[in-house]
A and B are shown apart, each in its own frame.
Chain A
Amino acid sequence: MSGDLGLSQQDGNAALAGNKNKSPKKILMLSWEYPPRIIGGISRVVEGLSKALTGLGLEVHVVTNDMPGSPAEEVDEGVRIHRVRVDTPAPNFHTWVLLMNHFFAKRVGILAREIGGFDIVHVHDWLVFPCGVETRNFTGCPMVSTLHSLEYKRAGGINSPEGQMIESFEWWITYDSGIVIVCSGSMKEDVKWKFKVPDEKIWVIPIGLNKRKFLQARPDWKAVRSKYGVGDSEKLVLFVGRLTHQKGCEYLIRAFPSVVKFFNAKLVIVGDGYQRGELEYIALTTGEGWRIKFTGFLSDSDVVDLMLCSDLMVIPSVYEPFGVVALEGMAAGIPVVASNVDGLGEIIKHEYSGILVYPRDPSSISWGISRVLGDPNLARTIVENAKREVDKKYTWEAVAQLTLKAYEQTLR
């Protein structure tokens, strides 16, 4: 009897028998984004983890969306990338997601036949869960999932049928996965509370950072700052992130007029999103709009250069399950001022490796920025401590080792 993926029951049993080995060899990573398709944080996590697992000797296959200009099949630092096109138009986004999963499943089926199946399928978020559970059901390989965020927090509640569907998928992920990986302790508590998942089923594995790009860059400090309209004597305050309500950029913009009463500063906002028009309007209404520059999306290298040439970075998120941009700021050697929420409150130790401020509070954000700009000694100490923290705790090698343990536990 053949399943939808074209595999026989015997193939499935053979794969299952193979999984009795405690250490996995072949990993299928499912993700709706992978570089150069970088919508949010999932892309970088899957890239970093896949490369690090390959470095541990595993064979990692990533099935992901196509990206114009990128090859359908590629090997990048040992990671085998299979980019899939969604060839059917959809009436709305959520239908498109389900179609995407169908096309992913087709590719997975072909791949499984070519290489004799997988030992683990690792699903990244609800977006690719249907393909993950199909792969598990038809090939017999166990499933591990990473929940990168929760819809009820991202969207400020479940307010639509689409939201209900996403939340239902999130619950289903926690039910059907051998292990659920989350990136922070606060996220673990959220998942436990929301979906009543046993504590031992949820593993907290932080996100890593590839520092190489910061170590290799050699930007011209003056030229980079000048490109964004920041003079030598002005302080460059940086925001990097999607322009959505979740990232809290409006509170930073509202905080800025208080900052510039005492410091000659400019705010550079890197990123794009549906809130951009609203944020540009808010910036104008502050009366300091001329000090606030919206750059839109920038290339990786431009973002790295900007980070290295900034005076501080602000992360005013309202909800942030982890906050890898905080690690990037810390690795770039600039002080980080961040909302004391979720993962950010776990990454940053207040007045040690950064400054924590109240979320949704422009006066607290302005205090945090002034704290750093007004005390260069504190800024230097924070930067040194932060760099040490990043080196000690947030390497992809350490993350991969923990993830491998999760795979081995699942196979037992």
Chain B
Amino acid sequence: MVFPLIEEILIMLSNLGAVEEDRAVTKDALNQSEKLRGKSIDEDVKRLIETGYVKDHNGRLYLTKAGLFRALSRFS
């Protein structure tokens, strides 16, 4: 099954352990992943921040609780 880009961004943040402020990662770190490499993710990241799934802490991103649960919902 092919998932929308926002879902791949969410799960990648979880895979990288970006679940709280002190574990936040840069967009570059996200872009290095196989599923996101070469893709433009700025708009999707912005949407995820606006809808409360992701937080931006000084240019580094991490999942909110809602974002974490959504990211992992497909595996439960």
Contacts and interface: CB of A to CB of B under 8 A. Distances in A.
A40 interface: yes
A274 B4 contact: yes
Contacts of B70: 272-274, 276, 297
B69 A39 contact: yes
Interface string B62-76: 000110011011111
Interface residues of B, number: 25
B76 A33 contact: yes
A277 interface: yes
Interface string B16-39: 110110000100000001110000
Query: Looking at chain A, what size class is its interface with the partner chain?
Result: 20 to 34
B73 A89 contact: no
A272 B17 contact: no
B74 A91 contact: no
A87 B58 CA distance: 22
A194 to B, nearest CB: 19
B15 A273 contact: no
B54 interface: no
A93 interface: yes
B45 interface: no
Q: Which of A90, A92, A155, A274 has the most CB of B within 10 A?
A: A274
Q: For A41, A42, A93, which residue has the most chain B Cβ atoms within 10 angstroms?
A: A93
Contacts of B11: 93
Interface of A: 33, 38-42, 68, 85-93, 95-96, 127, 155, 159, 242-244, 272-274, 276-277, 296-297
Given A92-B33, A95-B15, A296-B66, 16 more contacts: A39-B73, A68-B20, A87-B17, A89-B15, A90-B16, A91-B33, A91-B34, A92-B15, A96-B15, A242-B73, A243-B73, A272-B69, A272-B73, A273-B70, A274-B4, A277-B4
